[in-house]
Amino acid sequence: MTYLEILKAYWGYDSFRGIQEHIINSIGAGHDTLGLMPTGGGKSITFQVPALSKEGICIVITPLIALMKDQVSNLIKRGIKAVAVYSGMTHEQILTALDNCIYGDYKFLYISPERLGTNLFLTKLQSMNVSMITVDESHCISQWGYDFRPAYLKIADIREVLPDVPVLALTATATPAVVDDIQLKLQFREDSHVFRMSFERTNLAYIVRRTENKPEELLHILNSVPGSAIVYTRNRKRTKEVAELLNRNQITATFYHAGVNNDVKDIRQKEWVNDKVRVMVATNAFGMGIDKPDVRLVIHMDLPDSPEAYFQEAGRAGRDGKKAFAVLLYAKSDKVTLNKRIPDTFPDKDYIRKVYEHLNYYFEMAMGDGEGCTFAFDLDDFCRKFKHFPVQADSALKILTRAGYLEYTEEQDNTSQLLFTIKRDELYLLRNNEPDTEKLINLILRSYTGLFSDYAYINEESLSVKSGIDREKIYQILINLSQRRIVHYIPRKRTPFIIYTRDRVDQEHLRITKEVYEDRKESYTQRIKAMITYADSDDKCRSRMLLHYFGEQNEHNCGQCDVCLQHPKPSISQETYQAISSQVKEMLKSSPMNSRELVQAFSSQEEMVEQVLHYMMGEEEIQLNNGVLSLTK
C-alpha cells in the first residue's frame, strides 16, 4: 500500500497536512529526519504511516505515559498491534510486552526513555526486527532545551545497537540552537533532513492581562468567553484552590497534577474531555498527548519559566482551527518571583556539595561504596532531617544527576502488593456478611498465585472490571482486611528513587563542570529574561515575538493580540501611510530623534503620524527608547 492508501485505510483522510508528507517520505527512504511541528500539527501520523508500510516494529520513545496509553488504545481500535512499556508495570508485564514485540507481529512499541538502559530491554532489543525509531519530545535530549532529561541521552546507545535503523525526531518547541543539538545528540547521519512547519497559529489570540487581582480577572475572563478551558498554575496546592474558587462561582472545574492518583487522573481527564466539567486547573503535568481540539481558552495564573513552555501550553487552545485565546495573567510581583527561580534552580555549588554529603549520611553510605545502590527516597523527610528547603534540595539532586554522581528519578508509580497473613484453611473458616468482600477474596485467589507465601502484585483496575465492584470500594475492602490482619495490603504509591551511579566520593573532590552548571544556568537565565520581556512588552505583536524566538521571521502582525488591538493599523490610506513612513525613515537615517519633536515636525498631521509610528514600532521598523526614536538595526 502507498502512504496515501494507508492514511485512507486506517485514518479515513484523503490527504496529508502541512509537512507531514515530506517527513514521511524522508523517514520512509531511510533518512534520519527532524520534524518541527506545533501542537496539533499531526505529529503521530508522520511515524505511524511509514511504520505501517515497513516490515518490523517501530520503537516510539516518549516520556508521556498519558500519550502512550492514548495512542496505543487508538491504534488497537484501528486493528493495529501496539504495546507500551512504562513505570508501574510489573516485571512479568514488561517481559510479556517485549516478547510480543519479538514474536507477536506488533507494529509499535511505546517506551519511556528511562527503560532504554535496562538489561532486560537491551537483551530483548537484539531479537527485535526494528524498522524505525521515533523520538517524541526530542527537545528533551538537548542540554540547551527547556526540558532537558538525562535519560534521553541513552537513545544514542540504542543507535549503536541498531546502526542502520533511521531515526525520526519530533518536537513542537525548539530554538535554532536546540535544533542543531538534537541532531548532534541523536547522531544524525550526513544525509539527514530537517522539516519545519510554521509555528504561527492564526486562530489563536495571545493576550497579556496586567492585574493585581488574578482570581477576579480569571472569573471575569471565564464568564466572558464560553467553552472548554485549561487554567495553569505553578504549584500543586493552587490547582485545588483555584478549582474550588471556580466551583464556588458556578463554573464547573476539577484539578490535575503529578501527585494525583492515576485512577483519579484518568477519571478527571475523561470528565473534562467529555465536557462534564468545563475547566481543568492543572500544573504543567497536564496537557501533552491530550486530544481535545475544542479548547477555547488557556489561562496562565503564573509566568512559565520559558517561552518554550508557554508556547507549548498555550498551543493547546484552538486545535480545531476555530478562534481561541491564550491569556497570561501578569502582576507586578511576578517578575521578582520568576527571577527567584534562577537561584532556586541553580543553587551555589557549595550547597550542592552539602546536599550530596547529607544524602550519603541519610543512606549511611560509606566512602568508596555506592555504585548501583538504589533507594526509595522521601524528599520531605530528607529536608526535615537536614534542614533543607525542598525546592533547592530537589534542584541540587538534579544537578548531581547531570554531573554523573547519581540518578534522581521522577516519582515512580509502584504497583499495589498483597500478602495473606493467615493460612488458607483459616481464611475459609471466616464468615463475612459482606458479599462484595467474599466475591473479591475469591477473585483474588483465582487471579494470583503464591499469595500466602510472598507478596503478589495486584491490579485494582483489573479486579474492578472482573468483579463489577467499584475501584474505590475495592480499595476500602482491602484496607479493612488489612486492619483485621487478614491481609497485608500495600497500595500503589508514587515514590522517587535515588540510584548511585558511582561510588561515594569526598565532597571536596566532587566536580560540577561548566557545561553542567554555568552554561545551563546562563541558558536558563536567558529563557527567564525572554519570558519577562514577552510579558512586559506592550509595543510588539505577541505572535511575532514568539515566532522570532523560535527563529521564524514573520513579516506581519497577527492583528488579534492585546498589543495589536491596542495599536491597530492606521485608519488611513495605504498611499498616505507609505508617504509618512518613508519620511520618518528618512528623518531617522542621520540620527535618532525625540519622538515628540518628530511628531510636531509634521505640523497638522500629528494624529495621523502617531498612528503610523505605533504601527511602525509594532512592525519593528523603528524603536523607542527613553522617548527617543531610532531605526531598528
At 111-133, the pLDDT tens digits run 988 888 788 888 899 999 999 99
Q: Which residues contact 298 (CB under 8 A, 6 or more apart)?
A: 229, 230, 231, 232, 313, 314, 316, 317, 324, 325, 326, 327
Q: Is residue 177 part of a domain?
A: yes
Instruction: Count other C-beta atoms under 10 Å from residue 20's C-beta.
Output: 24
Query: How confident is residue 153, by pLDDT bands cut at 50, 70 and 90?
Result: confident
The number of distinct structural domains making up the chain is: 5
Q: Which residue has the cell 505553578?
A: 234
Q: Is residue 251 part of a domain?
A: yes
Q: Is residue 530 part of a domain?
A: no
pTM: 0.72
Q: Could you tell me the CATH number of the domain that includes residue 352? A: 1.10.10.10
Report d(CA 39, CA 65) in Å as an integer.
17
Query: How confident is residue 289, by pLDDT bands cut at 50, 70 and 90?
Result: low
Q: Specify burial of residue 92 (Cβ count, 10 A radius: 0-12, 13-18, 19+).
A: exposed
Query: How confident is residue 452, by pLDDT bands cut at 50, 70 and 90?
Result: confident
The CA–CA distances, whole Å, from 91 to 98, 118, 298, 445 equal 11, 12, 39, 20
Query: How confident is residue 569, by pLDDT bands cut at 50, 70 and 90?
Result: low
- Give the dihedral of Cα atoms 495, 496, 501, 504; nearest 10 deg: -100
pLDDT for res 294 = 94
User: Which residues lie across from 496 on neighbouring strands?
Assistant: none
At 34-61, the pLDDT tens digits run 999 877 678 899 999 999 999 999 999 9
Please check the confidence at residue 239 and state whether its pLDDT lies above 60.
yes
Q: Which domain holds residue 618?
A: 567-631
Rounded to 5°, the CA angle 259-265-268 comes to 130
Please check the confidence at residue 63 and state whether its pLDDT lies above 70.
yes
Cell of 120: 532486560
Average pLDDT, the chain: 88
Q: Which residues contact 121 (CB under 8 A, 6 or more apart)?
A: 85, 98, 111, 115
**Pairing state between β 593-594 and 628-631:** antiparallel
Q: Is residue 548 part of a domain?
A: no
Q: Could you tell me the CATH number of the domain that includes residue 34? A: 3.40.50.300
Report d(CA 311, CA 316) in Å as an integer.
9
Name the helix (H) or strand (E) containing 28.
helix 20-28
Q: Which residue has the cell 497473613?
A: 421
Q: Is residue 151 part of a domain?
A: yes
Instruction: Count other C-beta atoms under 10 Å from residue 200's C-beta.
Output: 15
Q: Residues 149, 186: one domain?
A: yes
Report d(CA 279, CA 363) in Å as an integer.
43
Quick one: average pLDDT of 154-169?
Answer: 91
- First CA to last CA across the chain, in angstroms? 53
Cell of 428: 475459609
Report d(CA 67, CA 431) in Å as an integer.
45
Q: Could you tell me the CATH number of the domain that includes residue 578? A: 1.10.10
Q: Residues 360, 509: one domain?
A: yes
Cβ atoms of 286 and 260 closer than 8 Å: no
Q: Residues 214, 278: one domain?
A: yes
Query: How confident is residue 365, by pLDDT bands cut at 50, 70 and 90?
Result: very high
Q: Which strands sit side by side in the sheet containing 130-135, from one edge to the other?
A: 82-85, 108-111, 57-61, 130-135, 167-171, 33-36, 193-196
Report d(CA 423, CA 496) in Å as an integer.
34
Q: Residues 321, 214: one domain?
A: yes
Q: Is residue 543 part of a domain?
A: no
